[in-house]
Amino acid sequence: VINFHSKWLKEHEDQDFKSIYVSALAWSHMKANKKRSKEHLLDAVLQKDLTDDIKFVFILMNTSKSSDDLEGYHWTLLVLNCDKKSFDHYNSMSPRRGRKDILYDEAQQMANEVLKVLKKNNAGSKFVGWKKKVSKASFPQQGDMDEKMYNQTDFQAQVIDLKPNLACIILVGKDKSWKLDNIGI
């Protein structure tokens, strides 16, 4: 569902803000040490699609401990801002006081990997002077207190109901696949 939405965003993007949407599986496969999959999902995409007119690169990151995308319970977003030469990490669920921010550390690990891939692919002067440290973006937090985003809805049942419809649409044919108006939402 997340990759489907990324595809939809790409197809409907503002031409002034061209972006790349890296597969949601790139981080999971990198974390699980699946080198060939990571090269296909991250390295090849950056090498092929990262041109001078790209403004942002969006990398979705799951908390899974393996390449199983169903394992994780929370998603965060790492954004490469090509104009500012910076990385921003969006996480709606910060750790409790005194706890280590593992998800931020993982975002930093992914940012380092992205810079390594770009350097390896001779991305040129566009990536000279990048801030190597990921900044924590100011973002509303989940919770049930007044100052936090209200988060009491379990969307899992809705997503499970949507999966067969999406699969059917995708399998029907390329001319009808990946078009939001075909879903019936």
Residues of the chain with CATH 3.30.310.130: 2-140
Q: What are phi and psi of 122, to 5 degrees?
A: 50, 55
Report how far residue 110's alpha carbon sits from residue 140's, in angstroms, rounded to the nearest whole number.
23
Q: Quick check: 62 pLDDT over 60?
A: yes
* pLDDT above 70 coverage of the chain, percent: 68
Q: What are 107-146's pLDDT values in tens digits? A: 999 999 998 888 887 655 566 667 777 877 655 555 554 4
Q: Quick check: 51 pLDDT over 60?
A: yes
Q: Quick check: 101 pLDDT over 50?
A: yes
Report how far residue 134's alpha carbon sits from residue 22's, in angstroms, rounded to the nearest whole number.
18
* pLDDT above 90 coverage of the chain, percent: 12
Averaged pLDDT of the chain: 76
Q: Which CATH class, in words, describes the domain spanning 2-140? A: alpha beta
Report how far residue 142's alpha carbon sits from residue 160's, in angstroms, rounded to the nearest whole number.
22
pLDDT number for residue 79: 92
Measured CA distances, 157 to 133, 154, 163 (Å):
38, 7, 10
Least confident of 33-47, 79-93, 110-124: 110-124
Banded pLDDT at 70 (limits 50, 70, 90): low
